[in-house]
Amino acid sequence: MEKPPIELVVQALETFSRHHDPAEQQKASKWLEQLQRSVHAWEVADQLLALKGSQEASYFAAQTMQSKIRHNFDELPPQTHTALRDSLLNHLQNFCTEHHTITRQLAVALADLALQVSQWNTVVPDLIQRFGSNVSTVGVLLDVLIVLPEETYNRSLRLGETRRKELRQLLSHSCTDVLSLLVACLNSYHDNNLLTKLYNCLGSWVNMGTFPVHELAQSPLVQAPFQTLTQLEVPSMLYDAATDSICAMLYVCEDVQAFFPLALVLKSQVEQMRPLFQAAVQIEDSDRSICLCRIFTEMCESFLYYSHHPPKLTSG
């Protein structure tokens, strides 16, 4: 397949999305799939993103870029990696106020790129410096930070176990920076969408088990999701994200010896949720009841052994 002009790609996307004839849509779909499999997809996706045309075209381009980086990264010569990184950073900034499905694909694409380019060992500080100081860009920053730890476990990426361990160790060095960023966001922004991303980011990084325990235990990030659970008229996505972040913290506390300061704070906070659960049951608020049951169950599972075998604590 030769590289098609960008106008032809836009026309095919228009046909696939809006043509009234199913046969023409199917024909356009097969052609677009062939394009995605070709080496020209890299340049075409980059051009489409730069155009910022229709939502369908931008999503196709973002999804194509993400898929190529994950599955066909070996098609690119090493000398192009820096240019691709810079291009993705620019696209993320340009789409920061656009539909979340587009920025989500770009965030995963950038995360997968960072994990496969060993020379980029300052990814988290670089992202925070570029996107962390403006309310219009902090959302896409959180999008990337959410998926970075998750993608180290993604088996679709062609990474060996040694490299995966190196990546988790590299990310663990940035835990303090991420913690500081999340606290700053919590204090500065009160938008429900940003708060949902903040809780998802907290859970993603806590799952690595490398957060500084004492700092996290004393952080307002522990109390914040519990406070969200007590509020009425909370969007379900925010309620679920708050629950997930609490469960992530409880899960790592299964190692009570290592996470004892955090376990103490969480135990106290969870016990204060009992009246809220009783009230939710009485008014048949099933969503809230289910979320609280998840939290109670996670705490019981994490602390069950140590309820009979208390950890031995040092004076420190």
Q: pLDDT confidence of 315, banded at 50, 70, 90?
A: very low
Q: Residue 309: what pLDDT?
A: 58
Work out the pLDDT band at 316, boundaries 50, 70, 90: very low
33-55 pLDDT per residue, tens: 999 999 999 999 999 999 998 99
Give 72-129 pLDDT, tens digit per residue.
999 999 999 999 999 999 999 999 887 789 999 999 999 999 999 999 999 999 999 9
Rounded distance, CA 138 to CA 208, Å?
Answer: 22
Q: Tell me the pLDDT tens digit for each residue of 263-311.
A: 999 999 999 999 999 999 999 888 889 999 999 999 999 887 665 556 5
Residue 297, C-beta contacts closer than 8 angstroms, at least 6 positions apart: none
| Structure-token match 């995360």, residue found | 111
Average pLDDT, the chain: 92
Domains in the chain: boundaries: 210-316
**pLDDT digits over 141-190, tens only?**
999 999 999 999 999 998 999 999 999 999 999 999 999 999 999 999 98
Strand ranges for 106-232 from DSSP E: none
* Under 8 Å between Cβ of 62 and 105: yes
CA-CA distance, 108 to 147, in Å (whole number)?
A: 6
